[in-house]
Chains A and B, each alone.
Chain A
Amino acid sequence: MAANLIEISNLHKKFGQGKKEVWVLRGLNFSIKRKETFCIVGESGCGKTTLGRILANTESYSKGSYRFSGQEVKDLTKKDLRSFKKDVQMIHQDPFASLNPVQTIFSIIANPLKRHNITKKYNETYKEVSRILDLVGLTPVEDFLDKYPHQLSGGQKQRVSIARALTLDPSFMVVDEAVSMIDTSLRISILNSLKKLQMKYNVSFFFITHDLTIANYFAKEGRIAVMYLGKIVELGETDELIYNAKHPYTKALIGAIPEADPIITKSKERFQLKEGNIPELKNIPSGCAFNTRCPWAEEPVCYDKDPLLIGSEEHQVACHVVNNN
C-alpha cells in the first residue's frame, strides 16, 4: 500500500487542438495522504474544477502522471476502473442539478448499492439506505424515502448528494463548491457532517472552493493550495498558509476577503496588486504567469523563468522573489 493515496506529478491538461489549444493545467505536483483534507482555492477559470474532474476520472489528463493507490489512473483495466469508481466519489456544486428529478430519494441512494452488488435483497437495501440517510442527518428517514428532489430544500438536497456519494464507502471524495449555493445558516452544518464522516470512515477530501474562509474552516487540520492560471502558487498547512502567507497572490486574496465583523473588516491589512484582469489562458505571460499583477515582479528573472513550487513539507511557494531571499 502506498503511503500517499494520491500522487500527482507534472500533471498537464489541454483543451482544444492546434491553434485553439489551451493549457488549463500547467504542471501540477502534489500528493494527498489518506484521511487528509486537501483544499484548493482560486478564482474562476484557474482550473480548479478541471483538476477535480481529473481526480474523479471524469476527465482525462494530457501529460504527466496521476497515481491513485499507487496505480496510474490512465492505465487502469476495466476491472480496476470499476473499483476505482467505487473508491472515488464526487459531490457537485449544484444540488438542484445533480439529482435525477424523476427518481425518489430511495432510488437515488439505492441504485449504486444495487449496481455494485453491495445489497441484493430489498430488505437489505432498505436497511442500508436508511442507515446512510440517518448518517447525513436526514431524519426521520421515513419522511424522505419516497420524496422527489423537488420536494426538498437546497440543504436537504445537498445532504442527499452526500448520502449518494457515501453509499459505496469511498476512500476519496472530490467536493466541488459543495456549500456555495447553500444558505449561510446551513453551511456550517453541512461542513460539519462532512468532517464527522471523515473521522468515521477515513475518507480523504479534495475540497474545491473559491472562498478562503470556508477552506480555512474546513481544512483546519489539512492543507490548502492556492491556484492561479493552472498552477499551484502556494501550498501549505492551513494555519501556516493563512497566518504566514508568502505569495503576493495569496496575500492579496487574504487581504481582500470581507469579514463578517464591521471593525475587523474595515481595519484589515490590504495587499494591493497592480491593476488589471487575469490574463487569458490563451496568452499566458512568459516567465511567472503572475508577473502582470505582481507588485514585486523583478527584471529579468520574473519575466524569463517560471518559478518552481519549492519549500519545506509544511509550506511551499512558487515565487522567485520569496524563494531568492
Chain B
Amino acid sequence: MTKAMKKELLKINDLSIAYNTPRGKLHAVRNVNLTVHENEVVALIGESGCGKTTLCLSIVQLDEDNAQLLNGEINYYKDGEVKILTQMSERDIKIIRWQEIALMFQASQSVFNPVIKIKEHFIDTVKAHDNGYSRKAIIDKSKNLLSKMQLDADRVLNSYAHELSGGMKQRALIALSFILDPKIVIFDEPTTALDVLTQRKIIDLLRLIKEEYDFSIIIITHDLAIAAELADKVATMYAGQIVENGKTEDIFYSPSHPYSYGLINAVPKLISDKCEGDLSSIPGSPPDLIDIENKCQFSPRCNFATEECFRDEPTISKVGESHFVACYNYKNVPPIRRDN
C-alpha cells in the first residue's frame, strides 16, 4: 500500500469492537485500519470516549469481559511470520504480551503493588515469562535500564512505590516496560497528571531511549502537544473510527478532516500566539455510540458538512502520500495558519 522502506510490524485490519451494555451494543471501535512500522512512533489522538484505549487494549487482548470482537483482525509480524493476535489462545497471547508488546496503563502512578519493593516487580515480570534469567541477571538489567532513565537505580529498586515521586514512578514504569525488550510499547496518556518539568523530562527520556533501542511506540493521548513532540505519524479518532491518519507534519499543518482541524485550532499556544482570534471550540458533543446512524458521525458538529454527510458515512481513503481521511469535503478544509 505505502512504499515505506520500513517493515510492517503490526497491522490492524477492519477491526470493530462493541461492548455489551444493558442499553445495547456500544460500538467503541468501528472499522479501524492502522499499520505500525518498525521503529515508528504513532500517536492516537482524540477526546475521552472515542475508543482509543479500547483499541489499544485489544492489541494485547486485555479487553473487558463485556467486549466483543465483531469483525476484523490484528496481525503481528515476527521473523516473517504472521501472528493473528485476535485469534490467539490465552496461553499464546501471554507470550506476546510484554515480551513483544508492552502496555503502560494510564494512571500508572498506581500500577505498582504498594507492599512489595520495586525490584520484585522487575523480577516477577521476567520470571512470569520464564526465560531462564537468574535473579542477579534480572537485577543487573533493571539497573541498566533505570540508570538509562536517569534514576538512582539502587535506591529505586529497594524502594516501595510510596517512597518515589510521581515522575520517578513513571520513569521506573517505563524501565519496567522495556525489561523484556519488546518490539512495541503502548503508552496510554504517558504524561498526564505530571508536572510540566517532569513531563519534559519524560518526553526527553523517551526520545533518548528511542534513539538507542529498536522499537515502535503507540502513544494514546488527548494532548496534541505530546503528539507533536514525539510522533512520526498521527491518527485522529472520533466516535470509534480513525477519521484521519498521516504524517505528523501533514496532520498539524494541513489537516484534511474537519475534526483534526477543529482540535488543532482549539489548543492555545504559548509562543507565537498572535492569532488568538482563531482559537475556537468545536460546538456540540460526541454521539452516543449505541445508536449509530448511517451518516458521518461528526456531521452535526461540522462546519463543512454538506447534504451528503447526513446521508451516508464516509469511508477512509487516500488523499496524499501516506495521508488518509474519511471526509467527503476534505478539500474544503483550510491549512493551519502559521505565523512564524
- A interface residues with partner B (beta carbon < 8 Å): 43-44, 153-156, 183-189, 192, 210-214, 216-217, 220, 242, 252-254, 256-266, 268, 270, 273, 275, 277
CB proximity to A under 8 Å, residues B222-281: 222-229, 248-249, 252, 262-264, 266-273, 276, 279-281
Question: Contact at B269–A264, with CB atoms within 8 Å?
Answer: yes
Which residue of chain A lies nearest to B269 when distances are taken between CB atoms in the complex? Answer: A259
Question: Contact at A262–B252, with CB atoms within 8 Å?
Answer: yes
Bound together, the chains give a CA A264 to CA B252 distance in angstroms of: 11
Question: Contact at A259–B270, with CB atoms within 8 Å?
Answer: yes
Question: Contact at A256–B196, with CB atoms within 8 Å?
Answer: yes
Bound together, the chains give a CA A275 to CA B198 distance in angstroms of: 11
Which residue of chain A lies nearest to B226 when distances are taken between CB atoms in the complex? Answer: A258
Minimum CB–CB distance from A317 to chain B (whole Å) comes to 19
Given contacts A252-B197, A260-B252, A264-B340, contact A213 B281 (CB under 8 A): no
* 21 pairs, A vs B, C-beta closer than 8 Å: A155-B285, A156-B285, A184-B47, A184-B267, A185-B47, A186-B266, A187-B266, A189-B283, A211-B196, A213-B268, A213-B270, A214-B268, A216-B273, A256-B200, A259-B269, A260-B224, A260-B227, A260-B228, A261-B252, A264-B340, A270-B200
- Specify which chain A residues have a CB less than 8 angstroms from the CB of B290 in the assembled complex: none
Bound together, the chains give a CA A189 to CA B301 distance in angstroms of: 14
Question: Contact at B270–A216, with CB atoms within 8 Å?
Answer: yes
Which residue of chain A lies nearest to B168 when distances are taken between CB atoms in the complex? Answer: A277
Task: Decide if B48 is an interface residue (CB 8 Å cutoff).
Answer: yes
Minimum CB–CB distance from B266 to chain A (whole Å) comes to 5
- Specify which chain B residues have a CB less than 8 angstroms from the CB of A216 in the assembled complex: 268, 270, 273
Task: Decide if B72 is an interface residue (CB 8 Å cutoff).
Answer: no
Bound together, the chains give a CA A254 to CA B197 distance in angstroms of: 10
Question: Contact at A253–B267, with CB atoms within 8 Å?
Answer: no
* CB contact between A258 and one of B150, B165, B199, B273 (< 8 Å): that residue: B199
* CB contact between B195 and one of A44, A184, A214 (< 8 Å): that residue: A44
- Specify which chain B residues have a CB less than 8 angstroms from the CB of A262 in the assembled complex: 228-229, 248-249, 252
Question: Contact at B281–A264, with CB atoms within 8 Å?
Answer: no
**Number of B interface residues in the complex (CB < 8 A):** 43
Bound together, the chains give a CA A129 to CA B197 distance in angstroms of: 43
Question: Contact at A257–B196, with CB atoms within 8 Å?
Answer: yes
Question: Contact at A188–B271, with CB atoms within 8 Å?
Answer: no
Question: Contact at B225–A189, with CB atoms within 8 Å?
Answer: no
Question: Contact at A185–B268, with CB atoms within 8 Å?
Answer: no
Bound together, the chains give a CA A214 to CA B168 distance in angstroms of: 26
- Specify which chain B residues have a CB less than 8 angstroms from the CB of A261 in the assembled complex: 228, 252, 269, 338
* CB contact between B196 and one of A253, A263, A266 (< 8 Å): that residue: A253
* CB contact between B281 and one of A189, A217, A258, A268 (< 8 Å): that residue: A189
Question: Contact at B222–A188, with CB atoms within 8 Å?
Answer: no
Task: Decide if B137 is an interface residue (CB 8 Å cutoff).
Answer: no
Question: Contact at A220–B276, with CB atoms within 8 Å?
Answer: yes
- Specify which chain B residues have a CB less than 8 angstroms from the CB of A153 in the assembled complex: 285
Bound together, the chains give a CA A211 to CA B283 distance in angstroms of: 23
Please give me the 8 A-B residue pairs with the lowest Cβ-Cβ distance, nearest first.
A189-B281, A256-B200, A258-B225, A217-B268, A260-B224, A43-B195, A185-B282, A260-B267
- Specify which chain A residues have a CB less than 8 angstroms from the CB of B338 in the assembled complex: 261
Question: Contact at B276–A265, with CB atoms within 8 Å?
Answer: no
Question: Contact at B270–A184, with CB atoms within 8 Å?
Answer: no
Bound together, the chains give a CA A242 to CA B224 distance in angstroms of: 21
- Specify which chain A residues have a CB less than 8 angstroms from the CB of B229 in the assembled complex: 258, 262, 265-266
Question: Contact at B197–A185, with CB atoms within 8 Å?
Answer: no
Minimum CB–CB distance from A185 to chain B (whole Å) comes to 4
Question: Contact at B285–A260, with CB atoms within 8 Å?
Answer: no
Bound together, the chains give a CA A145 to CA B165 distance in angstroms of: 44
